């Protein structure tokens, strides 16, 4: 049984494993249907998708007719200006076949110039606030990749009272002392404000090699060994208060869900160093 945790101040008890629906970006509806059945079997009650995730919203849409009440439904807009972002939110509602999102997130808000646009007058944040006022969305979050994202999220929270953040978290990244320190500063701020903390890239092995055969739908090389996935998944779940957003490949997803079902305790640092050496784990962002 995958435990639940209050998703920040939203009032929703989300499963600590959140279905990362980037995995549905380029699958058939039949494959999406099988995947949705799988997450229902595991009791997952929170879906995270985005306007930019290929066909993901369209694949989820048919399921919302019957199961909308089952899921906390989140999407994202990558647009930075007001009208484009507002139109993106409306389009996501149509594609998802629902009249309300639980969470809209400003997607991958990393670069300072894009941040200035999105967070300034006539920016995407104003569109998200309008959508909330109109009842199209309930909550507003912010996401991002890269080593600078804890600092950027802190800056975002200082500008606006976001309900959630999303950023990378795995053992190799925390070996970067600056990233680890910035992550802890952000987490302390989120805990003080009761902001939900979503983490991504739990089972990353390394960036794809220049000439590597890409054998998964992920844009990075994922782990495929069940024991290794167990260890990396349990390491993230061993951090109290965070959520783990699942892998972007429907064929690896069952292994992550299986690992989460068997979580008991966080692996030691010694075990993580051993795993890092065994599988040559590398930080995805440097």
Q: Over the stretch 144-187, which tens digit does the pLDDT of each residue have?
A: 999 999 999 999 999 999 999 999 999 999 999 999 999 999 99
Q: How confident is the model at residue 128 (pLDDT cuts 50, 70, 90)?
A: very high
Half-sphere exposure of residue 94: CA atoms within 13 angstroms, side-chain side: 6
Which of 39, 27, 94 is closest to 71 using CA atoms? 39
> In terms of C-beta density within 10 A (0-12 exposed, 13-18 middle, 19 or more buried), how is residue 85 classed?
buried
Predicted pLDDT of residue 212: 80
Predicted pLDDT of residue 123: 98
Predicted pLDDT of residue 1: 87
pTM for this entry: 0.97
Q: Over the stretch 2-39, which tens digit does the pLDDT of each residue have?
A: 999 999 999 999 999 999 999 999 999 999 999 999 99
* Three-state SS annotation for the chain: CCCEEECCCCCCEEECEEEEHHHHCCCCHHHHHHHHHHHHHCCCCEEECCCCCCCHHHHHHHHHHHHHHHCEEEEEECCCEHHHHHHHHHHHHHHHCCCCEEEEEECCCCCHHHHHHHHCCCEHHHHHHHHHHCCCEEEEEEECCCCCHHHHHHHHHHHCCCCEEEEECCHHHHCCHHHHHHHHHHHHHHHHHCCEEEEECCCEEECCCCCCCCCCCCCCEECCCHHHHHHHHHHHHCCCCEEEECCCCCCCHHHHHHHHHCCCCCCCHHHHHHHHHHHCCCCCCC
Which is more confidently placed, 213 or 42? 42
CATH of segment(s) 4-279: 3.20.20.100
Domain layout of the chain by residue ranges: 4-279
The angle, 0 to 180 degrees and rounded to 10, between the axes of the packed helices 29-41 and 56-67 is 50
* Gyration radius from the chain CA atoms: 18
Mean residue pLDDT across the chain:
97
Q: How confident is the model at residue 78 (pLDDT cuts 50, 70, 90)?
A: very high
Residue 95 has pLDDT above 90, yes or no: yes
**Could you tell me if 119 and 160 are in contact, meaning their C-beta atoms sit under 8 angstroms apart?**
yes
> Mean pLDDT across the stretch 115-141?
98
Q: Over the stretch 193-250, which tens digit does the pLDDT of each residue have?
A: 999 999 999 999 999 988 788 889 999 999 999 999 999 999 999 999 999 999 999 9
């Amino acid at each position: 049984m995958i435990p639940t945790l209050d998703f920040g101040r939203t009032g929703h008890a989300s499963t600590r494993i959140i279905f990362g629906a980037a995995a549905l970006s380029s699958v058939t509806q039949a494959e999406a249907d099988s995947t949705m059945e799988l997450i229902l079997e595991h009791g997952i009650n929170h879906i995270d998708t985005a306007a930019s995730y290929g066909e993901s919203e369209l694949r989820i849409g048919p399921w919302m007719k019957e199961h909308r009440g089952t899921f906390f439904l989140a999407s994202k807009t990558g647009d930075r200006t007001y009208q484009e972002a507002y139109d993106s939110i409306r389009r996501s509602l149509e594609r998802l076949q629902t009249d309300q999102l639980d969470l809209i997130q400003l997607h991958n808000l990393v670069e300072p110039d894009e941040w200035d646009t999105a967070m300034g007058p006539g920016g995407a944040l104003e569109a998200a606030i309008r959508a909330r006022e109109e009842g199209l969305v309930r909550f507003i979050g912010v996401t991002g990749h890269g080593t600078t994202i804890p600092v950027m999220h802190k800056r975002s929270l200082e500008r606006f009272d976001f309900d959630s953040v999303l950023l990378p978290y795995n053992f190799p990244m925390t070996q970067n002392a600056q990233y680890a320190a910035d992550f802890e500063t952000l987490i302390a701020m989120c805990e003080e404000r009761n902001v939900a903390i979503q983490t991504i890239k739990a089972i990353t092995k390394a960036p794809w090699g220049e000439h590597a055969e890409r054998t998964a739908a992920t844009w990075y090389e994922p782990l495929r060994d069940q024991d290794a996935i167990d260890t990396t998944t349990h390491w993230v779940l061993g951090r109290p208060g965070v959520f783990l957003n699942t892998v972007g490949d429907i064929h690896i997803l069952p292994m992550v869900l299986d690992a989460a079902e068997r979580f008991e305790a966080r692996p030691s640092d010694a075990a993580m160093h051993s795993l890092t050496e065994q599988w040559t784990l590398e930080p995805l962002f440097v």
